[in-house]
Structure 1
Amino acid sequence: MIRPSGGPPLYSEINTSVPSSARIWNYWMGGKDNYEVDRVAGDEYSKVAPQVVTMARESRRYLIRAVSRVAGELGIRQFLDIGTGLPTYDNTHEVAQRIAPDAKVVYVDNDPLVLVHAKALLYSKSPQGVTEYVDADLHDPESILEAAAQTLDFTQPVALMLMGILGHIRDYDESTSIVRRLQDALCPGSYFMHYDGIDTSPQLQEAQQGYDNTGALQYVLRSPEQLTAYYEGLDVLEPGIVSCPLWRPEPGIPALPTDVYGGVARKP
């Protein structure tokens, strides 16, 4: 189902009886768009795996650096950000349009609370730029592409962003198929930007299992090798597919690895 950005938010769909990954991520990043059930689940998770708060915040810093490079040095002016989550600070359109005021950004998510906040995402300080929001399900890439094509020109380079979302696709083969279909829609010279949690930490695995048992939308931690397969056929930029804090860190700022891996790659 797709609800265009002008449609009314369905407040009745917001379930506050179970945690939401978007709202917990917002909580870990210091946001205020969350409920008590999310804060309790987030605290329980971080008791078992304290590194998760750092992971959340470092993943946003990685997004800022990656979008800045793609919009800046690489000159991309179109962004398709799928699984954007709740607005916090330095969202994709803010970063891209600071560098390129004419940048077009399409956000895609299907969390009802994210839809309620769509107007915040749609607000652009750049009169030359475009920011649009589509309510759609990652399981249905065809609908995502159809809706995004109302704003983006897929005959020109697009930066496809799948940031921390593929773990919500339980079946790995399906997640790979979705990535391939979305990448196939991109013209040469486009970019793929991604990160997800990895399964190398017993603490993180234990905490994730506890979270999954709450009845919330589950998330699969995968191996670095599985994540690397998403980049097959693309030209991966240096320093490769690495722990996010190690991806082009700011000079003079210590970069310590965390259990979230990502990279940026160009479609040849």
Structure 2
Amino acid sequence: MAYGEKPQTHFIDTSNASAARMYDWLLGGTENYEVDRVACSELLKIAPSTQQLARSNRDFLRRVVRNLAAEKHIAQFLDHGSGLPTQDNVHEVAQRVHPGARVAYVDNDPMVLAHARTSLDDNTDTMVVDCDMRHTQDIRQATDGFLDWSQPIAALFVSVLHCLPDTDDEHDPAAVVRAVADQLVPGSYMVICQLVSDDPSVRDGVTQLMADATHGNWGRVREPHEVRRYFDSLEIESPPGLVDVIDWRPDSVPPPKHLRPTDWVEWGGVGRVPG
């Protein structure tokens, strides 16, 4: 059972789409429903490169975790909005480098939690926290003792901040990122990326579609300069800096510009907590 979860309190809503289940479908998974597939079909009409972006983003997640584990010697990861299990999850990548690496997954999607109960129970170096990623103090309390907060941690916000709406309080995406960074010791890392577009019709169209499809469980497609704000007070790892994630230390030559998506991209990078 995920930390904080109460038996039989989670109802899997199949009448509205779920961002986690849509992402699963885009990656070729089977843990999704007709409502999710219909929403994905409509999404692809607005942003045809969406499936390509989902796969590029998953490749980025593998590369960045491997890089942090192997080159920065990070052995603790806090994955916000972890989503449904797929191949090469964070703990699998990290534990290939450090067999005892610890990974705490944070999510509150009922289907994600259901799969976590069965797929991670036999791995004592993983835990799942049933929590809204915006409740940073609750997450800190839940992971205290599992993660050693006196040592460096890599906090991951990979393709999840577009699920959070803008607010004027501590639940604003930028405020959430700052709150987590403030909890981390110097030498920790923040991995942050989200969907961005320079095209207002894509930003507005996707935002409205996802808000309708998920019954309000969505935030906003943003612009690169807005994502850059998330890295305020962090030392951005450069090269490559903040980029389309396909260009973040790729394993092979990335496609040339004329073969890239023109509708939207996953944009961000890695920041180090200074000190």
Structure 2 residues not aligned, in runs of 5+: none
Tell me the distance in 2 between the aligned counterparts of 1:49 and 1:212: 15
- Normalised by the length of structure 2, the TM-score is 0.89
Tell me the distance in 2 between the aligned counterparts of 1:106 and 1:115: 13
2:23 corresponds in structure 1 to 25
In structure 2, the residue corresponding to 1:213 is in which secondary structure?
helix
- Normalised by the length of structure 1, the TM-score is 0.91
Deviation at 1:139, TM superposition (A): 2.4
2:100 corresponds in structure 1 to 102
Q: 2:2 touches 2:113 (CA, 8 Å); kept in 1?
A: no
Aligned residue identity for 2:242? I
Deviation at 1:254, TM superposition (A): 3.1
2:223 corresponds in structure 1 to 223
User: How is 1:5-24 mapped onto 2 (pairs within 5 angstroms)?
Assistant: 8=7, 10-11=9-10, 13-24=11-22
Tell me the distance in 1 between the aligned counterparts of 2:95 and 2:118: 15
In structure 2, the residue corresponding to 1:117 is in which secondary structure?
helix
Structure 1 residues not aligned, in runs of 5+: none
Cα deviations by residue, 1:110-148 (Å, 9 ceiling, x for unpaired): 1111110113552566xxx60111100122111011111
Greater mean deviation of Cα atoms: 109-118 or 47-56 = 47-56
1:249 corresponds in structure 2 to 250
Aligned-residue Cα RMSD (Å) equals 2.1
2:134 corresponds in structure 1 to 139
Give aligned-pair identity as a percent: 38
CA 1:123–1:252: 2 relative to 1, 3 Å: farther
Q: 1:9 touches 1:115 (CA, 8 Å); kept in 2?
A: no
1:206 corresponds in structure 2 to 205
Aligned length in residues = 263
Aligned residue identity for 1:46? L
User: How is 1:5-154 mapped onto 2 (pairs within 5 angstroms)?
Assistant: 8=7, 10-11=9-10, 13-123=11-121, 130-154=125-149
Deviation at 1:89, TM superposition (A): 1.5
Q: 1:138 touches 1:144 (CA, 8 Å); kept in 2?
A: yes
Greater mean deviation of Cα atoms: 169-178 or 96-105 = 169-178
Tell me the distance in 1 between the aligned counterparts of 2:64 and 2:161: 18
CA 1:198–1:73: 2 relative to 1, 3 Å: same
Q: 1:241 touches 1:262 (CA, 8 Å); kept in 2?
A: yes
